[in-house]
Structure 1
Amino acid sequence: MMPAVAQAEGEKNVLAIGGSVTEIIYALGEGDRLIGRDSTSSYPPEATGLPDVGYMRALAPEGVLSVGPGMIISEDGAGPPETIEVLQAANIPFITVPDGYSAEGIVQKILTVGEALDVEAASIALASDVRMKLQEAEEAADALAGDAPKRVLFILSTQDGRIMASGTNTAASGIIEMAGGVNAVTAFEGYKPMSDEAVIAAAPDVILMMDRSGDHFVSDDDLFALPAIATTPAAQTQSVVRMNGLYLLGFGPRTADAVLDLTAALYKG
């Protein structure tokens, strides 16, 4: 990984990889320095007008280099590794922003981006504001959850009737906990397929999903008709929450709002 280097303020040659990185750059008032973004960077709306270099985990060197970046700021996990090696060999500063599925993780992201862009004062101010809002959101969530937190199962997909769900150490698990819920699955880390028996044993009160369309969409009726879901408490109460994926799982400047929205959805009524 190349070290961060200071740039002349306002220089337009930054490529953002990762939705939260792009959001942070705009929140810092530095969006005009961007010359491109990856396909996960869909917010704010003006970001979608930038050249798209592809999906952050399947980048091609030609696509990235085509926008002529002088600096690349990327979420952790960009790849494949051979593409990153090519970019580093091209002597393009490549700053990796650490993942973190907590309030302090978001603060560290903001500070890392601010340092890379040489706008530390702005990043410290933004980080302080975001930290305060996150603390308030989590306190409100804890108050609503009380002694009866909802068990929440995050389902990434149900393709071919096979449930791919979130275990621990994921963005989904992090946001569930911040919103006053309990991740219904703790037997594994990451996102993995689950057997029907494991889903039934998880006994979720609420199903949480990304609001998707196309091949990944599943209707409420089809979801609750799945054998693994049909007998769960969530199915009995028809409790499913769908939210925009970047908003829900991005862990960026909007996460406090996402926590409040998820909390309200989990504990409505």
Structure 2
Amino acid sequence: MTKLLLLLVLMPALAYGEAKRIISLAPHITEILFAIGAGEQVVGVDEASDYPEAATALPDIANYRSINLEQVLALEPDLIIAWQSAQSLQVAPLVQLGIPVAYSEPKQLDDLSDELLRFGRLTGHEQQAQQVAEHYRHRLAALRQRYQEAAPVRLFYQLNEVPLMSASQHTWMGQAVSLCGGDSITADSPTPYPQIDAEFVLAQNPDVILARNLSALQRWKDWPELAAVQQNQLFTMDVDTLHRFTPRTPGGIAGLCQQLDLVRQHRQKAN
């Protein structure tokens, strides 16, 4: 390890801009890089980066717990892009050793277009990044216009099963729910990803419960008094597009909005 650290110290720190050998440490970062045409410059990814398919052929050099320093050195990156809130501590040794590190931390739905443009400058793909950003903004604006007066639907957005977690309005998932006219039972939580218990959901009695798959929804059938269970409104969601903030996210939002439209249609028929 001593030799490794010495070699890392001697590696020249390259300035940001038109990086040729990039390591991506999060799935949304990998997807953005490929979307703007910089996929061929990506030489290593984290193990969760599985889109697009070409990314799965790249070396896995990290997971959510750690980074393999030996593999980082072997790949000779001139830029590493990390998820700031989740990985800043992991990459701190790399920063100290002079390897250029950029951070990605989009928090609002509108932030992604700026993120695309920034990635374009870092990789030398500004024109394609501009096109992708404009397309993203257009799709987001169209969804906002379509659902700006949609009737509210009370819902629980189940982000995780154990522990039971949701998303507040401070997250892009929560913002997606609001855009669609969803009234999330955890929207006003002071923390982005609140941990709650089943009793809280029962007390709030949402009309819809959303989760990643059918098995994650199964537990709620133990409480037939829930409105969402009575009305058979236990819906799955596309986590790849809603939980990864990328140019595909508007498609995930559109799918979420369509599910809430089904609830509104059911109400109209009942009335």
Fold match by TM threshold 0.5: yes
Tell me the CA shift for residue 241 of structure 1.
2.1
1:204–1:233 CA contact under 8 A, matched in 2:
yes
Cα 1:79/1:61, change in 2 over 3 Å:
farther
Task: Kindly report which structure 2 residues correspond to 1:1-269, keeping only aligned pairs within 5 A, or say none.
Answer: 5-7=16-18, 11=20, 13-56=21-64, 58-79=66-87, 81=89, 83-102=90-109, 104-142=110-148, 146=150, 148-159=151-162, 163-185=164-186, 186-211=188-213, 218=215, 220-225=217-222, 227=223, 230-268=224-262, 269=265
Find the aligned partners of 2:229 and 2:125 in 1 and give their Cα distance.
49
Cα 1:124/1:219, change in 2 over 3 Å:
closer
Cα 1:117/1:34, change in 2 over 3 Å:
same
Tell me the CA shift for residue 26 of structure 1.
1.0
Find the aligned partners of 2:190 and 2:229 in 1 and give their Cα distance.
23
Cα 1:89/1:125, change in 2 over 3 Å:
same
1:98–1:108 CA contact under 8 A, matched in 2:
no
Structure label with greater radius of gyration:
2
The residue that corresponds to 2:6 in the other structure is none
Q: Could you give the per-residue CA deviations for residues 28-81 of structure 1, whole angstroms, max 9, x where no partner exists? A: 111111101112322112111111122245434345444332211223324261
Tell me the CA shift for residue 94 of structure 1.
0.5
Secondary structure of 2:146 counterpart: helix
Indicate the RMSD between aligned Cα atoms, in angstroms: 2.4
Q: Could you give the per-residue CA deviations for residues 116-147 of structure 1, whole angstroms, max 9, x where no partner exists? A: 1132232222211110111112222335xx2x
Cα 1:188/1:203, change in 2 over 3 Å:
farther
* Residue type of the alignment partner of 2:183: V
Alignment gaps of 5+ in structure 2: 1-12, 266-271
Count of equivalent residues: 250
Alignment gaps of 5+ in structure 1: 212-216
